[in-house]
Structure 1
Amino acid sequence: MLEKRKWPRFACLEPCDLLPVTNNAAKRPSRILNYCFNGLLLETDIPLGTGQYIKVDVQGNALGNKVTGIGKRVGLVRWCSTRPVQSSDCFEMGIEMLGGVSDEVLG
């Protein structure tokens, strides 16, 4: 089935820090698997609930991706699922970035 998306996605393996916006939450190392204008596909070792707000801090420079250096952004968890069996200790999350990821993605 062909996916219909408003914005194109770009693959990357960009390291980032994930901070759930909850009391006593700790920063977690994560990575961005792909991104588009208004969202990210994150891989992390903790599951988060749909509707939970997070802060994402991207400071790397892997492969010159346009997502690099966006700094800290706030996002909303849209879905969370376990990775395939070979990576069962990881979770994938679809994150809607509030305010978009980068205006440069469209250019």
Structure 2
Amino acid sequence: MFEKRKWPRVLCLELCEMHPGSDSARKQSSRVLNYSYNGLLLETDMPLGTGQYVKIDVRGKAMENALTGLGRRVGKVRWCSPRPEQLSGYFAVGVEMLGGVSEEAPSRETVR
């Protein structure tokens, strides 16, 4: 099969907080399942609409490991579908990161 993706995906399983653009005060615990330079696959228990903006805040182990460049980012939902596990109640969400993922780790002050 021909690969259409421009950037390779990196598998991970990192907890994050997701803030839907429609209600930025409301935090939603989610997980990053994989990421690339300009996007990520998010797992959440809340369906999101295509074109909706979201804020992603990756913390914890991720700040010391593979996802150091992610930190706090804004993205746009490209697609959302129920997870294939029957009745799991979770959704897989493809998010295009606006501006790409930084090559440098954010400072601790930025993360707070």
Note the C-alpha offset of 1:87. 5.6
Contact 2:33/2:42 (8 A) holds in 1: yes
* Contact 1:61/1:68, CA 8 A, preserved across alignment: no
Q: Give the CA RMSD over aligned residues.
A: 2.0
Paired AA for residue 65 in structure 2 = G
What is the 5 A alignment of 1:6-85? 6-23=6-23, 26-62=26-62, 64-65=65-66, 67-68=67-68, 70-85=70-85
Contiguous gaps of at least 5 residues in structure 2: 105-112
Q: Is the 8 A contact 1:59 1:70 kept in 2?
A: no
Gap change, CA 1:24 and 1:57, over 3 Å in 2:
closer
Bigger shift: 6-15 or 68-77?
68-77
The normalised TM-score by structure 1 is 0.85
- Per the alignment, in what secondary structure is the counterpart of residue 22 of structure 1? helix
Quick one: which amino acid aligns to residue 85 of structure 1? E
CA distance in 2: counterparts of 1:95 and 1:34, whole angstroms? 11
Superposition TM-score, scaled by structure 2 size: 0.82
d(CA) in 2 for partners of 1:34, 1:61: 15
| Contact 2:69–2:103 (CA under 8 A) maintained in structure 1 | no
Q: State the 1:101 CA deviation.
A: 1.6
**Code of the aligned partner of 1:26:** R
Amino acid in the other structure paired with 2:34: N
Percentage identity across paired residues of the two chains: 63
Poorly superposed stretches of 4+, deviation over 3 Å: none
Secondary structure of the 1:61 match is: helix
Give 1:14 shift: 0.7
- How many matched pairs? 103
Q: Which runs of 5+ in 1 are unaligned?
A: none
Query: Does the C-alpha gap of structure 1 residues 12 and 87 become closer, same or farther in structure 2, counting only changes over 3 Å?
Result: farther
